[in-house]
Structure 1
């Protein structure tokens, strides 16, 4: 994989993704699978987090042991579908700070419109992981990362379930410093800006809306 894009091909990730793609999977099942797959993807995206050491006492003896270094990372959900990925990462890293970027897609222009933005303080000193199940046109993801950079973030990664070649290319052009971690690079976008073969609208399938 390139430095810009990592596709996590772990068997458990691919198995769970197949179940999520299946249109017969229930809302509850989809939500549970998204939670599980997010944890597996989060394991990959945090692989090179910096470590320091601390002195502890095991039941046997004192030792120097590795522990995460620096400020707690910041998780930023790109609303609303990103919320389905938050809990999975927070179970792994419960001390993470959490922010939200509210964007919706104008169905005529396919351009993102901002309606909410709130992120933790000191974001310039934190690893920031932005989460959104779909990297489709890339418009909302690019807009969200623009806002995070304006707020001072310098170390940003993007975690998604599915990506399109068009979205990856646009993200690389706009934000070449942002690494993307995903479970699948799908074939293409259709003329409505949906990922093909994809899994439909992640937000609708997660929340049971249409």
Structure 2
């Protein structure tokens, strides 16, 4: 599938299976989503631009590789994105964080915005949008549009699971945004949930259902 990367590392796939299990405790779910996000973070940042800097080791001076440009932004789609942010921050502690508050209207399945805060100079930074589930694609597409309206022009989406319908909807609205996911599942059900999926990631993460 064009512009979609499925991270099929054995550890990612094993931990995803543990996440899917309906008997997983809230504490276990939180820990696993953080761990999987960290693994996915390696893949989504694989091609970051580099330069060299002069340093001195305990033995000698050398030219060593270093990240180039301004710190990246992780844009968390609230509330479920927060669980993945924890793992990503362990990988890139200096990253900036944007927050996009959206909820899905249960009748229309369309996103409703209640909060948005992002760095002012976002146009100069790589922005990685973080949301565990790419289901209908409506919420993520709305979040990406908000970031573009703010000036973002280099965006990627990182999610745990994606449905074919969500991928198609997002690519129709934002074909320039690459998608990184641990799995592409079968379909959406009548309530807009990914099948087989893992349920509502936010509810399972925060113990609210």
Shorter-chain TM-score: which interval? over 0.9
Q: CA deviation at 1:121?
A: 1.7
Q: CA deviation at 1:113?
A: 0.4
The unaligned stretches of length 5 or more in structure 2 are none
Q: How do 1:66-85 and structure 2 match up within 5 A?
A: 66-85=65-84
TM-score if structure 1 supplies the norm length?
0.98
The unaligned stretches of length 5 or more in structure 1 are none
4+ residue runs of structure 1 moved beyond 2 angstroms?
A: none
Q: CA deviation at 1:102?
A: 0.5
Could you tell me how far apart the structure 1 residues matched to 2:124 and 2:176 are?
A: 16
Could you tell me how far apart the structure 2 residues matched to 1:111 and 1:24 are?
A: 30
Partner of 2:87: 88
Could you tell me how far apart the structure 1 residues matched to 2:168 and 2:19 are?
A: 25
TM-score if structure 2 supplies the norm length?
0.99
Partner of 1:37: 36
Partner of 2:147: 148
- Quick check: 1:48 aligned with 2:47? yes
Secondary structure at 1:25's aligned position in 2?
A: coil
User: Alpha carbon RMSD of aligned pairs, Å?
Assistant: 0.6
Q: CA deviation at 1:83?
A: 0.5
Could you tell me how far apart the structure 2 residues matched to 1:167 and 1:206 are?
A: 22
- Quick check: 1:205 aligned with 2:182? no
Could you tell me how far apart the structure 2 residues matched to 1:106 and 1:197 are?
A: 22
Deviation per CA, 1:21-54: give whole Å up to 9, x if none: 0001100000000000000000000000000110
Partner of 2:108: 109
Aligned residues: 209
